[in-house]
Structure 1
Amino acid sequence: MSSTGRRVRAGRSVETLAVTRPSGPIAAAVEARWTDRGGLVAQLEDNLTSPLIGQGLRGVSALVHVVTPTDLLQDQAEDPVERRDRLVREVRTLVLACAASAVRQLVVVTAAQVYGALPDNPIPLPVDAPLRARGQVGLFADLVAVEEALAEAAPAYPGLRIAVLRPASVVGGVDTLTTRHFAAPRLLRVAGANPTWQFCHVDDLATAVEVTLDRRLAGGLPVASPGYLTQEEVEQRSGMRAVEVGASTAGAIAARLHRLGTLKSPESDLDFVMHPLVVDSVTLSAAGWTPAYDNDLCLAVLLEDVAAQTRGAPRFGARDAAALGAASAAVAVGATAAIMRRRRRKG
């Protein structure tokens, strides 16, 4: 079943957009942007794998399907095998429903992490960079599986224009692996690593969706604030102390916690705090998209969100490091606890 918002300005043409995950921050930002310009929004709240989902697309000209995770507790609470199966079935069902309902455009929101963070990544990645995210499990691997299913289904429906928005780490009212990274007492710094930090505010993502629809863009579209921050800049701007761990030690800790089932995130997620991943929103920029938030502002928003989420929460110790949900945070907590134990022994 769907519900439709009806804030329409006089003199503006009415066009209906459908959004999935309407209670999430990305869908909410997209809806606010669309209704502000006089459009209507149909909120798809039903089971997205149901063959009846097409009923909610009647009269809809475009669909925005939000896949990228923004509620870590909810996302990690679901059985990972069932979650992967559901996400893949959802995108396949929605492609078919769009084609059957005469929906002209489909915008799927995944994440820039599908490109993978690798030591040999150029800065920035080229527009046609392949998807090379490492690992077969985890939230980012799920997004790769969704994109693969979408690429497999799309050729059967040439009349449906499909765009895949791949935002950098999203900030602004979200709970993600990135926010959990900054929720640890100290930031993890992997010895010898060269990470980059690039963000995308939910409001900028909403305007990117708008430009994609207005300019009828298709294909893979990176979305991010221009440039990036280095590890040193992030530490300086955040005011957080860092704890340095060797790459092999960090990987071993994360892999063991994941193997024991106490950490939902796989060891491969450490790639994103070790290696560069910088995307260039050149296609969107050429179409007229301009982000309102740079990476410094995004980092400030992220830190405010983390402060709000952790206010009043107990400090995490080594025993419950995995409760933070992110591999990098778990390693940072464990390493910090080890340092404190050594200091106490020395007196």
Structure 2
Amino acid sequence: MTPTRRPRFLLGTGGQQGPGVIAVTGAAGPAGRALVRSLLSRMSETATAGKGPAPTRVIAIDSAERIERLVMPVPTKPDPKPDPKPDPKPDPQPDPKLDPEPGPKADPKEPGDTAPETTVVTGADLAVLPTAPGEKPAESTEEKPRRRSYLPSGLTKREPRPARTDSVPDLGIVPGTDTGVEWRAADISSPDVVTALDQADVVIHLATADDLAEATGTGSPSDRRLRAVRAAQAVSMAAAAVGARRFVAVTSAMVLGARPDNPVPLPDDADCRADSDEGQVGDLLEVERVLERIPRVHPGLAFTLLRPAALVGPGVDTAVTRHFEAPRLLVLRGTGTQWQFCHVDDLAGAIWTVLTREIDGPLTVGAAGSMDESQVETISGMRRLEVPAGLAFSTAERLHRVGALNTPASELAYVVHPWVIGSRRLTEAGWEPLHDNESCLQGLLDDQRRRRAAPSGRRVGGRDAALGAAGAAVALLGTAAIVRQARSRQSKRRRSTLDP
């Protein structure tokens, strides 16, 4: 089927009366499904209220593999069958001689002791990092008595990732069950995507990464970046080819950079000061370099660039969300972190405002204001871990170098330095976020609890979370150092009671 150019339909109140079709590329991800669900809801409300012409349907486009994953049944654990012939022999008891210092499972507390709210970790406490290739080990190689390791095993090597078994119904749209949505399988990084975009009046391209496990689990960083850049090129050219009137791209406010001297809030047209490294932020910088040519290459295609704050929502998995799966909140000494989020439903509301108000250019999207460290601690119930800035970044860099961390150390800045945005242009156009930062954080924590409790949960603890986020990795190492200190103190107490 060869797509044909059609007259451009306008959704605004002053535009031409007629139906409109919205196409969403990358719709099989968590943010894409939530976006499609929210667009369907707004389409229904607009049609019911009679507030001008409403889009007739939504075209959801993604690869056949990702769409097929959404319709696969979620496996359940079978009930264990009782053993018809139980073993009458009792279980062997562990020999205490094999582990003379087993240590407690949690931090020891003496009667009358109170746990401090802030724990300070020094460089000596984090000296148990794995050794990079070519480096000399910090300790001698002579044989030592067997003892329990305090370094999580997940930080010494990459572990095989479990099979993806997402729980689709509670994450939004399910292909084949929703009216008003037409699912089309296509490789969005290929020029063939033009066929899937046929009849689209508005094209929404989700370039932001909303599934960290999928983005970093397969392929090299260079292959991942090449796919992201090619997808931006192919989708934008296809949108112009089919006669779409507007192209909306969603990246991230991370491209503005997280720095100690950032103004709060950052304006919509702030310069991109992020580091162009091998991480996902570097990918988005390359994508935006491609997108900024659209007004010159396709003058008849209106273009809007949305940069949301830290995206949250059902199933959204990013380096920022994984920071809250660590055992403690990482705080760098001498820094003042400001937290801001953007719910996927508010992102959909921002896109709807762009379509109805015909807003062009770069826009920032986020909840109003921000939260400081004390507010985050109160809502999350997590205790903070205070680490010197130089030590935290050097630890994250070494973890990345030895392969224990699949994101660069530079992304640690986004959980310790401010990158708060103002959303001024959208607010002036009438957009209002439905979720504040407190409710976004609470929803993020609730989603993580449900994911850990579900049989299909992808991660079961802080160790797995640390494999994908620099802040979580440093916090996990610091927590291990605290446990090591506590066990050492308890061991000294036991020896002192045995002395004559």
TM-score scaled by length of structure 2: 0.64
Corresponding residue for 1:273? 415
Counterpart amino acid of residue 183 in structure 1:
E
Deviates more, 1:243-252 or 1:49-58: 49-58
Which of 60, 63, 66 is matched with 1:43 structurally? 60
Q: 1:248 to 1:155 in 2, by over 3 A?
A: same
CA contact 1:321–1:333 (8 Å) conserved in 2: no
Query: Retained in 1: the 8 A contact 2:307–2:363?
Result: yes
Matched, 1:249 2:391: yes
Is the partner of 1:129 in helix, strand or coil?
A: coil
1:287 aligns with 2:304: no
Query: Which one of the candidate residues 53, 62, 65 is aligned to 2:202?
Result: 62
Secondary structure of 2:58 counterpart: strand
Work out which of the two has the higher radius of gyration on C-alpha atoms and give 1 or 2.
2
Q: CA deviation at 1:209?
A: 0.8
Match of 1:331 among 474, 485, 488: 474
Higher strand share: 1
Q: Distance in 1 between matches of 2:275 and 2:207?
A: 19
Conserved 8 A contact 2:320-2:414:
no
- 1:195 aligns to 2:337 (yes or no): yes
Distance 1:203 1:244 in 2: 34
* 1:1-23 residue CA offsets vs partner (Å, 9 max, x unmatched): 9xxxxxxxxxx953100001222
Name the amino acid aligned to 2:307: R
Look up the SS of the partner of 1:145 in the other structure. helix
Classify 1:14/1:33 alpha carbon distance in 2 versus 1 (closer, same or farther; 3 Å). farther
Structure 1 stretches of 4+ moved >6 Å: none
Please give the alpha-carbon distance, in whole angstroms, between the structure 1 residues aligned to 2:418 and 2:35.
29
Amino acid across the alignment from 2:392: A
- The 8 Å contact of residues 311 and 343 in structure 2, kept in 1 or not, is answered as yes
Q: Which has the higher helix share?
A: 1
Change (3 A) 1:274 1:13: same
Q: Map Cα deviations across residues 198-228 of structure 1 (whole Å, 9 max, x no partner).
A: 0011111111111111111111110000000
Give the match for residue 378 of structure 2.
236
Aligned residues of 1:26 and 1:205 also touching (Cα < 8 A): no
Q: CA–CA distance in 1 between the matches of 2:460 and 2:204? A: 38
Q: Is the Cα–Cα contact under 8 Å of residues 36 and 58 in structure 2 kept in the other structure? A: yes
Task: Write out aligned runs for 1:126-165 (5 A).
Answer: 126-165=267-306
Matched residue of 2:248: which SS? strand
Aligned partner of 1:175 among 317, 320, 324: 317
Q: Which residue matches 2:31?
A: 26
Which residue of 2 is the match for residue 8 of structure 1? Answer: none
Q: Does residue 1:344 correspond to 2:487, yes or no?
A: yes
CA–CA separation in structure 1 for the residues paired with 2:324 and 2:405: 17
1:48-81, Cα deviation, whole Å (9 max, x unpaired): 1222211122221100001111111101113211
| Alpha-carbon offset, residue 34 of structure 1 | 3.0
| Cα RMSD (Å) | 1.7
Following superposition, the deviation at residue 315 of structure 1 comes to 4.2
Report Cα offsets for 1:230-264 as digits up to 9, x if no partner: 11211122110111111111011100011112211
Aligned to 2:367: 225
Shift of 1:279: 0.3
Alignment counterpart, residue 213 of structure 2, candidates 68, 73, 80: 73
Distance 1:321 1:49 in 2: 29
Distance 1:322 1:303, change over 3 A: closer
Equivalent residue letter for 2:22: L
Are residues 179 and 315 of structure 1, via their aligned partners in 2, closer, same or farther at CA, if it must alter by over 3 Å? Answer: same
Report if aligned partners of 1:26, 1:206 keep a CA contact under 8 Å in 2.
no
Q: How far off is 1:327 after superposition?
A: 0.1
Unpaired stretches in structure 1, ≥5 consecutive residues: 2-11
**One-letter amino acid of the structure 2 residue matched with residue 342 of structure 1:** Q
Unaligned segments of structure 2, at least 5 residues: 2-16, 45-54, 63-185, 491-500
Asked if the contact 1:117/1:272 (under 8 Å) is kept, the reply is yes
Change in 2 beyond 3 A, CA 1:164/1:248: same
* Secondary structure of residue in 2 paired with 1:235: helix
Deviation at 1:316, TM superposition (A): 4.1
Q: Residues 315 and 23 of structure 1: is their aligned pair in 2 closer, same or farther, counting only changes over 3 Å?
A: closer
Of structures 1 and 2, the one with the larger relative CO (CA 8 A, separation 6+) is 2
1:163/1:220 contact within 8 Å kept: yes
CA gap of 1:311–1:245, structure 2 versus 1, over 3 A, is farther
Q: Do 1:166 and 1:223's aligned partners in 2 also have CA atoms closer than 8 Å? A: yes
CA contact (8 A) 1:183 1:310 kept: no
Q: Structure 2 CA distance, aligned partners of 1:35 and 1:321?
A: 33
Q: Residue 180 of structure 2 aligns with which residue?
A: none
Which residue pairs with 2:242 in the alignment? 101
Whether the 8 Å contact between 2:265 and 2:422 is mirrored in structure 1 is: yes
The structural deviation recorded for 1:32 is 2.5
- Per the alignment, residue 17 of structure 1 pairs with 22
TM-score of the aligned structures, taking structure 1 as reference length:
0.92
Q: Percent identity?
A: 42
One-letter code of the match for 2:29?
Answer: G
Letter in 2 for 1:336: T
1:162 match: secondary structure: strand
Q: How far does the alpha carbon of each residue in 1:117-173 deviate from its partner, in whole angstroms, 9 at most, with x for none? A: 111101111222101112411111111111111113441111111111111111111
